[in-house]
Amino acid sequence: MEEDTLTFVGWKGDLGSSEARGLVVICVTDTTTGDDVILELEETRYASTGPTNLLSLERLEQSGWVPSYHSETGRPEDRVMFLDRGDVRLELLKRNGHYWLQTKKRNVADTSMCMVTTGGKHSSLMRWHMKFAHLNVQAMKQMVLKEMVDGMQSLKLDDFKEPLDCIACQIAKQRRMSYKRHNKRTTVCYDRLMSDVCSIGLATVGGNRYFQLVQDEASRFKWCYLLEHKSEATKNVMNLILRLEKQYVINRVRFDQGGEFVNNKVKKFLVDHGIELRPTNAYTPEENSLVERQNGNLVNKVRAIREGTGLPESLWGRSSDVCCRG
CB 246 within 8 A of CB 264: no
**CA 167, 173, 179: angle at the middle one, nearest 5?**
130
Can you give the pLDDT of all 326 residues of the chain as single tens digits?
Answer: 555 555 555 555 555 666 677 788 888 899 888 888 888 888 787 777 667 788 888 888 888 899 998 888 888 888 899 999 988 999 999 888 888 888 887 654 444 433 333 344 446 788 888 888 788 889 889 988 888 888 887 788 888 888 787 877 777 767 666 666 666 788 899 999 999 999 888 899 889 999 999 999 999 999 999 999 999 999 999 999 999 999 999 999 999 888 888 899 999 999 999 999 988 888 777 788 788 888 888 888 888 888 878 888 889 988 888 888 75
Identify the structural domains of the chain with CATH numbers, from first to last. 2-104 (no CATH), 116-172 (no CATH), 192-325 (3.30.420.10)
State residue 251's pLDDT score.
94
- At 215, give phi and psi (nearest 5°): -130, 140
Tell me the pTM: 0.47
Tell the burial category of 291 from Cβ atoms under 10 Å away from its Cβ (0-12, 13-18, 19+). buried
Show Cβ contacts of residue 201 under 8 Å, excluding neighbours closer than 6 positions.
209
Measuring CA to CA, which residue among 234, 236, 233, 178 is closest to residue 210?
233
Q: Distance between CA 305 and CA 134 in Å, rounded?
A: 28
